[in-house]
C-alpha cells in the first residue's frame, strides 16, 4: 500500500479526485482493532489527539477533504490517510499524530473512503429555477 500524504493530496483540486486518491476499498466487517479496540478509543481521547484534531480542522477550514464549498455542518471526522494499527499506537508512531497524514471528512465520506463505495458520498445540490415544478 502506498503512503498517502496531505502534500500529495493538495495536488488534486476536485473532491472526486481527492476521494479517488484516498479510497482504500476495504472490506465491510474486516477487523482493524478487534479486541484491541480499547487502544484506539484511548488514543482518540488523548490530549495530543485532541490538539492535532483541532489543528487539522482549522487547516481544512472545516471542509470535507479540505475542499472549499464542501463545508461540514455535522460532526467532523479526522481520517488517517494511512490506516492506523495497534502497533502504531504501541510503538508511538509519530505518523498517527502528524497532520501531513490526516484530513477532515464527514462520516459518509469517511465510510466511502474505507469501503471504496462512492454511492455513500454526498450528492451535489440541484439548483432550482423559476418555473421549475418538477421535484428532485
What number is the average pLDDT over the span 43-47? Answer: 93
pLDDT at position 61, please?
A: 97
Higher pLDDT among residues 27 and 91, named by residue: 91
Provide the 8-state DSSP code for 102: E
**Nearest-angstrom CA–CA distance, 42 and 61:** 26
Structural contact between residues 83 and 101, judged by C-beta atoms closer than 8 angstroms: no
Task: Cell 466487517: give the residue.
Answer: 29
The structural domains of the chain, with segments of one domain joined by +, span: 6-27+35-118
Stretch among 9-18, 24-33, 97-106 having the lowest mean pLDDT: 24-33
Alpha helices in 27-71 (DSSP H): 37-43, 47-59
Is residue 78 scored above 90 in pLDDT? yes
Q: What global pTM score does this model have?
A: 0.84
For the chain, give the percent of residues with pLDDT over 70: 88
Provide the 8-state DSSP code for 105: E
71-21-113 Cα angle (round to 5): 65
Grid cell, residue 97, equals 499524530
| Cβ-based neighbour number of residue 106 at 10 Å | 23
Amino acid at each position: 500500500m502506498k503512503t498517502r500524504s496531505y502534500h500529495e493530496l493538495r495536488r488534486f483540486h476536485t473532491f472526486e479526485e481527492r476521494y479517488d486518491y484516498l479510497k482504500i476499498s476495504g472490506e465491510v466487517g474486516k477487523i482493524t482493532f478487534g479486541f484491541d479496540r480499547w487502544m484506539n478509543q484511548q488514543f482518540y481521547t488523548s490530549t495530543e489527539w485532541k490538539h492535532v484534531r483541532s489543528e487539522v480542522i482549522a487547516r481544512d477550514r472545516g471542509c470535507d477533504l479540505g475542499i472549499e464549498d464542501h463545508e461540514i455542518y455535522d460532526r467532523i471526522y479526522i481520517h488517517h490517510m494511512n490506516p492506523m494499527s495497534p502497533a502504531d499506537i504501541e510503538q508511538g508512531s509519530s505518523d498517527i499524530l502528524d497532520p501531513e497524514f490526516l484530513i477532515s471528512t464527514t462520516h459518509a465520506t469517511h465510510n466511502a473512503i474505507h469501503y471504496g463505495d462512492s454511492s455513500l458520498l454526498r450528492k451535489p445540490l440541484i439548483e432550482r429555477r423559476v418555473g421549475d415544478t418538477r421535484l428532485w
